[in-house]
A and B are shown apart, each in its own frame.
Chain A
Amino acid sequence: MAEVMELNYTISNEDFTRAGEASSDVKKKLKQLGVSPDAIRKVAIALYEGEINMIIHAYGGKITVTISEDAITLVLADKGPGIADVEKAMQAGFSTAPDKVRSLGFGAGMGLPNMKKNSDEMDIKTEIGVGTTVTMVIRI
């Protein structure tokens, strides 16, 4: 697998019924490529949490997945409100999700911590009123 492969997805606003479609598709492709189940699970979890975050907080966004020989890079970019306090957002249990989202079983403040836990590197670039870009690297 010397070639670099790129996958692109657009996540639409407030569409909880479609959340997970990008993650499922990436999971299927990685399976076909013969990536280890452990790495696939990490990518699937990190990406799904990212998808949910984009739907809850950022009115959707774009996901780019790059698969190279030794790593999978996930870039999630949105034009949402930005994260006011990244350090706080990274704390397990801290959440600003609305009640509607909580009633669906989300909003426990585990999203970003789960993303960090499942990636080897994670970087958050955010600006209030401009948007957020989360980059995660999972080594394979």
Chain B
Amino acid sequence: MTVRDLANIEEFKQVSDMTDTEITKVFCCDLLSIAMGKAPAGSAWVTVMANVNTLAVATLTDVACIILAEGVSLENDLIEKAKEEGIAVLKTDLSIFDSALLINKSL
């Protein structure tokens, strides 16, 4: 499943621009320190942490996309930054667990 396919699932809403990157697995973590070391390249990263450093960690670890769970979203300037850097960001009202479960089922 690609990031674009994920955005077509009803529960997930597009925040920045989508890509055709293939999602390889799901990764859940809110501590950026841990995500930095552990997020697999190509994974869909589910988190409630939505700050500028989340974007930096996503870029550096080469995750396929960020999914903001629990109704969290990005501030407008960060949406612009995500677009500039080509980072796909989605959001959902689901919990982290339910988001991850749904993505994993769809892989």
* B41 shortest CB reach to chain A, Å: 7
Closest to B59 in A: A24
If over half of B's interface residues share one DSSP class (helix, strand or loop), that class is named, otherwise mixed; here it is: helix
**Total residue contacts A-B, CB cutoff 8 A:** 71
B30 on the A face (CB < 8 A): yes
What CA separation (Å) do A37 and B61 show in the bound complex?
10
Verify B41–A37 contact, CB threshold 8 A. Answer: yes
Report the interface size for chain A: residues with CB under 8 A from the other chain.
Answer: 26
Verify A48–B41 contact, CB threshold 8 A. Answer: no
Q: Given the complex, which residues of A lie within 8 Å of B57, measured CB to CB?
A: 20, 48
Report the interface size for chain B: residues with CB under 8 A from the other chain.
Answer: 20
What CA separation (Å) do A49 and B61 show in the bound complex?
12
* B2 shortest CB reach to chain A, Å: 19
Closest to A110 in B: B33
* B74 shortest CB reach to chain A, Å: 14
A119 on the B face (CB < 8 A): no
